[in-house]
């Protein structure tokens, strides 16, 4: 049972391909144990979404993901009526034999992630991704859903969750979330991993890379984070980049190959300009010295 | 439930955190106790992480939490200096805001009604830099009354609008079609509604702006009061976020808090450096994206003109529009010769003045009307 202790959960996460630190394991463990949503915050690319996927996989639960964006509304997040089917149904039926109750029944309902999670009979991990992108109105709505796991559809009535889904929310801190929402959640801040852990993660995620390349790539990215960049690379960039290096048959970092592949790590033109010539050579030398 | 000793420990610890400014309600304490019940209490770091994930709700609180945890559970010898996060009491008389007892009072003669203009109308066109103490006191009431207009954006959300609108209201249409055998005879429509656009104000409070900074800060406070989605910053040699301080309804409290926050009031200017600090620290979190950004500064950079240009360009790439308010532009002879100003100009969408109450009114209505990026 992965949920009998923090150690067990930690090794189950590792088996699921996610290398957590003790803090994240504890936060996930407590959240699963006491049945409260967990809010994961951190810079982009530190593995917030991946953590939710790993939890779903180790629990054998279905992962339902709601990707938030500005303007997200109930018809995209909860449910929508299938209007085309409704109209066809009215036309196909004899005059006057269709009543409203039939028309707005569950046959004509399109289920979106939140409704799906509440209705599900099997265990579910509900990932509400990048909640900070959604509008504040949606946050208020979400608050209601998270507090009692029920959804009201005017034409049908209230649907209550048969089993409470495990909820993980992620936020990049584009804006501060409402206190009321935070009160409903446990909180964990994921920072950039320590160098040794990052090397381990890269080795795990890119098994084709040699141990030496993984260590050098992680050290190089760690060096980049020390610089004053518009967007310091996250763990996700280290992994992408190592994959690119492996695809090019790289055994060891050198200035030429780094220059060719830097686009996998740095996403702003200014940053690419800032990391050139001596800066780049210095970082490569530093990474190779490990 | 954990043993009563643990309960007592955690409850007291929560009180320590509350004193340090964290918002730790009974709900969080209950979570912490349930969490501790689930983990084994043998490993100190498990206890730490459990309490941290249940009692903390934002990143800024982590440092305070760590200090308190060390003091409380690990028995650090001295009770640490806990950094207060909220609930601060404003100091009486904050620097920079209480206008110097102006000797100009005697110059402020009988200008109540002159030539048919009311005193307020005259005052509206008087340069902030030339106002007496008493005039400024009257001007601040005028400023507080403006700046309520906000730039708007079309939301993605649709509202039912009856028989006209942008897109069909399908739920209404299906329901109406029941009566007509499935033929959509009666149509219902929905339209996008207008919502306030994000507004970002960055105020230069350096020495060269001294005569204007107080008045413009009042403008910032008025703008802050216009609703959600307003962010305010001030800078001299470094950047300070004013949003939480200016959020107070009472202008006196708000301004006192803000003034205490700004450490380098009337000092030197590092516009480029401060804009960079904004872009790095806040712009990256997409505070700027889609916002109307307003920079209130005379563009008098002391260090690096090129940096001002670069960072203004960065801001402009993310913002919906950039408005630069330069009080010096109130003088008809003004030419943007200051290096920083010249470097920033190519990246600015609107360049206006802000040297008197009337120009701030114009600014407020300009902000309300910005509906496209560049001036036609």
Under an 8 A CB cutoff, do A137 and B157 touch?
yes
Q: Where are the domains of chain B?
A: 4-73, 155-195, 199-369
Confidence of residue B18 (pLDDT cuts 50, 70, 90): confident
B9/A288 Cα distance (integer angstroms): 49
ipTM of the predicted assembly exceeds 0.90: no
Under an 8 A CB cutoff, do A83 and B174 touch?
yes
Confidence of residue A107 (pLDDT cuts 50, 70, 90): confident
CB under 8 Å, gap of 24 or more: what pairs does A46-50 form?
A46/A190, A46/A191, A46/A192, A46/A193, A46/A234, A46/A235, A46/A236, A47/A18, A47/A190, A47/A201, A47/A235, A47/A236, A48/A170, A48/A190, A49/A127, A49/A129, A49/A170, A50/A18
Is pLDDT of B192 > 90?
no
Under an 8 A CB cutoff, do A230 and B284 touch?
yes
Under an 8 A CB cutoff, do A87 and B49 touch?
no
Which is nearest to A138 in space by CA: A231, A69, A204, A237? A69
As a whole number, mean pLDDT of residues A95-118 equals 86
pLDDT digits (tens, 9 = 90+) for A26-58: 999 999 999 999 999 988 888 899 999 999 999
Residues of B in contact with A176 (CB under 8 A): 58
Under an 8 A CB cutoff, do B39 and A183 touch?
no
In chain A, the percentage of residues whose pLDDT exceeds 70 is 99
A20 to chain B, closest Cα gap in Å: 13
- Cβ atoms of A256 and A276 within 8 Å: the answer is no
Is pLDDT of A204 > 80?
yes
Q: What is the DSSP letter of B199?
A: E
A209/A261 Cα distance (integer angstroms): 15
Q: Of B66, B174, B186, which to mutate for an interface test with A (greatest number of A Cβ within 10 Å)?
A: B174
> In a 3-state reduction of DSSP, which class is residue B145?
helix
Residues of B in contact with A172 (CB under 8 A): 285-286
pLDDT digits (tens, 9 = 90+) for B334-368: 888 788 899 999 899 889 988 888 888 888 888 88
The token duo for B192 is 């996008």
Fold designation for B199-369: Rossmann fold (3.40.50)
Q: Where are the domains of chain A?
A: 6-189, 195-285
Under an 8 A CB cutoff, do B53 and A188 touch?
yes
Higher pLDDT, B102 or A170: A170
As a whole number, mean pLDDT of residues B3-13 equals 83
Under an 8 A CB cutoff, do B40 and A26 touch?
no
> In a 3-state reduction of DSSP, which class is residue A218?
helix
pLDDT digits (tens, 9 = 90+) for A81-90: 998 888 888 8
Under an 8 A CB cutoff, do A81 and B287 touch?
no
DSSP string, A245-261: HHHTT-SS--HHHHHHH
Residue B132: phi, psi to the nearest 5? -80, 170
The token duo for B116 is 């048919």
- What's the half-sphere exposure (Cβ side, CA atoms, 13 Å) at A213? 25
The token duo for B346 is 């190519």
- Mean pLDDT in chain A? 89
Fold designation for A6-189: Rossmann fold (3.40.50)
Question: Residues 269 to 288 of B: which have CB under 8 A from any A CB?
Answer: 279-280, 284-287
pLDDT digits (tens, 9 = 90+) for B220-246: 888 888 878 889 999 888 888 888 888
Q: Of A29, A181, A186, which to mutate for an interface test with B (greatest number of B Cβ within 10 Å)?
A: A186
Q: Give the chain B residue whose CA is nearest to the CA of A95.
A: B181
Is pLDDT of B217 > 70?
yes
pLDDT of B90: 36
């Amino acid at each position: 049972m992965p949920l009998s202790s923090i150690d067990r959960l930690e090794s189950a996460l590792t088996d699921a391909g996610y290398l957590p630190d003790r803090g994240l394991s504890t936060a996930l463990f407590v959240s699963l144990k006491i049945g409260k949503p967990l809010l994961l915050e951190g810079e982009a690319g530190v593995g917030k979404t991946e953590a939710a996927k790993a939890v779903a996989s180790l629990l054998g639960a279905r992962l339902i993901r709601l990707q938030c964006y500005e303007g997200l509304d109930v018809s995209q997040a909860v449910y929508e009526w299938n209007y085309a089917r409704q109209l066809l149904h009215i036309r196909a039926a004899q005059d006057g034999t269709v009543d409203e109750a039939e028309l707005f029944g569950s046959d004509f309902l399109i289920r979106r992630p939140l409704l799906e999670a509440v209705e599900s009979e099997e265990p579910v991990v509900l990932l509400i991704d990048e909640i900070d992108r959604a509008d504040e109105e949606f946050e208020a709505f979400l608050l209601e859903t998270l507090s009692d796991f029920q959804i009201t559809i005017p034409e049908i009535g209230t649907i209550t969750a048969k089993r409470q889904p495990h909820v993980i929310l992620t936020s990049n801190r584009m804006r501060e979330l409402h206190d009321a929402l935070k009160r409903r959640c446990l909180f964990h801040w994921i920072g950039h991993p320590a160098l040794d852990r990052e090397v381990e993660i890269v080795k795990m995620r890119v098994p084709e890379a040699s141990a030496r390349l993984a260590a050098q790539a992680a050290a190089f990215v760690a060096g980049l984070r020390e610089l004053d960049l518009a967007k310091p690379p996250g763990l996700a960039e280290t992994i992408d980049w190592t994959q690119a290096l492996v695809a090019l048959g790289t055994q060891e970092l050198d200035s030429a190959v780094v220059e060719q592949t830097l686009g996998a790590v740095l996403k702003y033109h200014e940053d690419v300009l800032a990391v050139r010539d001596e800066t780049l050579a210095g970082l490569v030398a530093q990474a190779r010295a490990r | 439930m954990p043993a009563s000793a643990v309960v007592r420990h955690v409850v007291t610890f929560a009180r320590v955190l509350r004193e340090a400014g964290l918002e730790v309600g009974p709900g969080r304490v209950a979570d912490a106790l349930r969490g501790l019940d689930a983990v084994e209490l043998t490993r100190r770091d498990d206890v730490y992480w459990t309490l941290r994930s249940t009692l903390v709700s934002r990143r800024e609180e982590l440092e305070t939490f760590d200090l308190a945890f060390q003091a409380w559970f690990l028995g650090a010898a001295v009770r640490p200096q806990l950094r207060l996060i909220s609930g601060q009491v404003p100091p009486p008389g904050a620097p920079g805001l209480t206008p110097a007892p102006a000797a100009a009072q005697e110059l402020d003669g009988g200008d109540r009604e002159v030539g048919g203009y009311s005193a307020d109308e005259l005052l509206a066109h008087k340069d902030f830099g030339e106002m007496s103490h008493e005039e400024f006191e009257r001007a601040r009431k005028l400023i507080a009354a403006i700046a309520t207009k906000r730039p708007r954006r079309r939301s993605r959300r649709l509202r039912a609008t009856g028989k006209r609108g942008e897109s069909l209201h399908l739920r209404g249409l299906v329901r109406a079609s029941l009566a007509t055998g499935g033929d959509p005879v009666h149509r219902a429509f929905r339209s996008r509604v207008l919502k306030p656009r994000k507004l970002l104000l960055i105020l230069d409070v350096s020495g060269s702006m001294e005569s204007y900074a107080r008045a413009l800060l009042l403008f910032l406070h008025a703008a802050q009061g216009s609703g959600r989605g307003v962010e305010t910053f001030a800078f001299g040699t470094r950047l300070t976020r004013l949003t939480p301080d200016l959020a107070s309804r009472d202008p006196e409290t708000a301004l006192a808090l803000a003034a205490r926050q700004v450490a380098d009031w009337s000092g030197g200017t590092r516009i480029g450096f401060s804009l960079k600090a904004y872009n790095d620290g806040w712009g990256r979190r997409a505070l700027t994206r889609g916002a109307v950004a307003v920079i209130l500064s005379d563009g008098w950079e002391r260090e690096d003109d090129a940096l001002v240009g670069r960072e203004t360009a960065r801001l402009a790439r993310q913002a919906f529009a950039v408005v630069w308010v330069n009080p010096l532009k109130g003088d008809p002879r003004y030419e943007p010769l200051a290096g920083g100003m010249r470097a920033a100009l190519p990246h600015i969408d609107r360049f206006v003045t802000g040297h008197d109450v009337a120009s701030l009114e114009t600014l407020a209505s300009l902000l309300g009307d910005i509906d496209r990026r560049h001036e036609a």
